[in-house]
Amino acid sequence: MKDLKAFENILGVTFKDQAIFTQALTHRSYLNENPSPTGGQAEHNERLEFLGDAVLELVITEYIYEKFPAKPEGELTALRASLVNSNMLGAVAAGLDFNNFLLLSRGEARDVGRARQYILANAFEAVAGAIYLDQGYGAVRDFIIKILAPKISEILEKKLYRDAKSLFQEEAQERAGVTPAYQVSKEWGPDHDKHFIVGVYLGSDLVAEGEGASKQEAQQQAAEAALKIKNWE
């Protein structure tokens, strides 16, 4: 069993209910290889992820609404999206050493590619959900703000809040006179864990591909890559 006390020290959170903390770190694949020794139904973190996703969005929405009273709704929406997307959450979770405390199958543990980023992002959401259930809204708000608020200055400075898909469309229409088209080239995984690869085309030319847990996310990744390839940033 992982030393969760060490992880609590990293997170700055002490759980009253250790079982819910363990559940937040348990990937579905782990239970396939490690069934409950008592024969009971052990739980993975997907329900906590579902809850944590909503809690995270509320906390960030409330925070940036209060912090930026002059920003219109569209800019706030873009800023929120840049703080709670899988790229940001996966990077934050990796920085907090989630990799060393996740309970994964042997196969998932070996995969450190793009799929791991989604697992890390989902685990961060699950931990947020677990904190909310264990200690309430105030505690989870403090945790999320402590972790994510410092990222805001970097996002604003580098304009990471922009909508890559809209920007690529504007640039393509202005520079090439073409409206980009997006096409799914591959999808896999069960309904609860879908992955998509989407290509962005100018006419019949494939410019770039992106991968995501939804078609929309994959399109954004493809547009971001296309902006770099075309040097239209």
For residues 127 and 23, membership in a common domain is answered with: yes
Spatial CB neighbours of 79, under 8 Å, sequence gap ≥ 6: 64, 68, 71, 152, 155, 156, 161
Residue 84 structure tokens: 């709670």
Is 125 an annotated catalytic residue? yes
Flag whether pLDDT at 74 surpasses 90.
no
Flag whether pLDDT at 39 surpasses 60.
no
Among candidate residues 219, 222, 179, the one with its CA nearest the CA of residue 202:
179
- To 5 degrees, how large is the angle CA 226–CA 228–CA 233? 105
CATH code for the domain of 172: 3.30.160.20
Average pLDDT in the chain: 89
pLDDT in tens, 208-233: 999 988 888 899 889 989 999 999 86
Alpha-carbon distance 162 to 191, whole Å?
29
For residues 33 and 130, membership in a common domain is answered with: yes
* Domain interval for residue 184: 164-230
Contact 145, 152 (CB under 8 A): no
Please give the annotated binding residues, written as ranges: 49, 122, 125
| Number of compact structural domains in the chain | 2
Catalytic, out of 17, 33, 53, 163: 53
The pLDDT value recorded for residue 192 is 67
For residues 196 and 145, membership in a common domain is answered with: no
Catalytic, out of 108, 125, 211, 224: 125
pTM: 0.73
Is 53 an annotated catalytic residue? yes
Flag whether pLDDT at 1 surpasses 80.
no
Please give the annotated binding residues for Mg(2+), written as ranges: 49, 122, 125
